[in-house]
Structure 1
């Protein structure tokens, strides 16, 4: 029997050794992949930083061009100097050059500014360039252009529209970038992190701050595609070294920002660790077998006990405790069991506190929402009833009915379940009141299959009020509001649209940024929409949000996306136990 047991023990030992080595190689492979992914992620961050610096530089340069194109002193310069004598004309030219020089004093990326009048074949520049007349005389459209290895931004007058023919161009404002600044961007963004980078300008030259790996520029030119939305990655091998290459297309200047990182050196320490592990694992396993023979029984029993208790906790039994186990109190398991009991007790206490806090938050939120109802709405409604009491009893009856139903709904929010149907009834009463007070049309479309779906209260009403106050009332002749509910696979989209004052692209972007911010907007404007967005996120997670768009009427459409089957918060977006 001793020989049989020993044989089985040897089999187990060999199996365990092979399993350990296999797991190590798997882990080594995963570590190599993780390191490469980390390198790629770091390189992408570097590319993003460098791109942002270049974008800022390009934007600043274009702003200089547009500024001087629209500047009245430049626009009337030629006309003014024709009316001046030689001395005063020269002084006016010097003043313009000095002004252009002063505007570049604090700028590190722009080398020179120049204005070229095509008809007079005259030029004013902050720096002399022997090729200036040739360069500026050939300009026929605004934008970025690579000329003689330098990047220029050309702005044309007239600047409101693109000149249809070269003869319509009165003058050209040119901004010349410092190529050394681009090289400094590469140095600061990549070289300090162990990567190399260069700019690949269309079919033109490469811009780098040092020698490149042989053939990598040609490989990049043949591989990458002009996609400004994505960072393109490919692998490259040269001279027995492996590289990964990332490229980003910078559309305004038709240039690729390319960075490459050598992976061979970074993975070498991992390979050495693998060799050291193979030698040391044998010693570790021999010691481990001795130790496992002594502690196997107690260790296995205690681990199984701890495992079973964890399963009970996973099933929601937070009253489970391990307590004192004979023989374990003086070992690490005694401390572990005590820590487990303390953790479960604390978890149970925290969940009870969380439920209480959630109930309080729900009550406070509801009270806050009810308190936000504008008292002027009630005053205006009552004044309407007073003014129409003698002339139109039917209008008074309709107003009273809408007003009564509107406030009856608000007073029962805390006691009755809220559905899409009841929430839209509130909107219907509100719009009915507004339609009596002013010339307005509205429609509400709700599919029958969605009428009984539960929804958080006062999600739609603030958006409807916002459509009236900031849309209809801010545009002359606006009079239409629509509420359309459309089902999705597991939820619904509620769209509130009006034909009132729309938003510009910048205002729309700013609104979205304010809504997505972690802090409410300053003042009172936008706080209601911000509050709705946060309630949707708390209730439905990523499945619930607000979306904004300009509709076919020219006004604003607000789309509310909700998820009926959301796991984050159930029907009302709170965390409950029991």
Structure 2
């Protein structure tokens, strides 16, 4: 079917291939552009996020330096002995420290509060909500978030006092608000605390982003990932604050950022499809004017191939193909006349050759049988003589029907079984095995195809070797051919002798050589034609192996 429309399919495939190649090249270019743009967006967002985190860490470090500078103040150094001062000195010292901390808080750009807890007098110095003592077990210098007060707090404990620095989370929200550009949505995240969003954020999106991002943050200080939320891809950048231990996260809808390029790509695909459809119209025109006449000619040639020599092309194409049609009809008429003259002569010659080759086998077998009967009569083995006589009569009944040169493999095996039964009577050490698949027993084969090979195994192989006694016949179906193997454990042949024998059976028959193997080989070539023949080699049993093979027939196409 494909061969008939090869030209049409070739043009169609060429048009499709050209369109596909252009689309692939354009897609590759677009993908490179998308990757470049995405990398630029990722790099810019990550740099902006890095600047945000650096600014955050700078402010936090400034607050840490305030606590360090306060600890170095001489008045703060008096706190370990404040309990031995009189009331006036205690009040004066606390007021001086309060004023100093108040001035230091205002000196920083961030809103913050600094206070000192004097453990000698159990009193906070500075503006502190509540009068509770510092919590125990808090690591010195580590910033923690108080979810209730929304304050970040750090404690620095010294001998006799504890410095506390706090700032509200609004400081972080102001940083996030300043970092918002376009569609990005930055926020701060810590696994043990609530998310800090900017004031215009969509907290629902940030929660969904975090559900995808959280498993990816383990052990990473910064990076970028693409996560999908409800079918939308987001480019997420993150960086961990060195001072707070929080992650600054910024995400951007990747599809919206790349939408112009993607839209251009779709427009180009639509244009390619339209060009392909236009090419299809041209191909269909060529199909009607060129391919249809070619198919008509191919159909006529195929009919001639299958023997329909009376076929004539009556189609009119109204172009140069009409001349080809006329020439085809003239050629078909000449072939038909020639076939009628030659066909009968070829059939008669072929049948005569088959009958001649088959007749050459019968005397060869008869000589061996008569010689056996003579020997058995001398030995007084009447049972073997009777069996030989009966099977010889069955054999000639089978072989003298020259009008039927072909038989079923099952019947051929029956003759082989009779022959081996007779030989078993003559040689007690002889035994045989026949293993043929049921599906092969109904195959048509030339008469006396197997029996001469079995006879050679017995006479030339087993009789010439004292301990030999096994003949095995096996059949095998392969994907494209059938195989019949006759092997024995007899004397066998050398590699050189096998090669010489193979060369001789391929030559014309001579009076100096036996005719059995040559005869079988020639009949295989006549009946099964190509890809059939005979292989001779060493058997796994120790003797000789002869394999006949021929191709399995294929159904002819309509």
Using structure 2 for the length normalisation, give the TM-score: 0.42
Task: Name the TM-score, length of structure 1 as normaliser.
Answer: 0.41
Larger Rg: 2
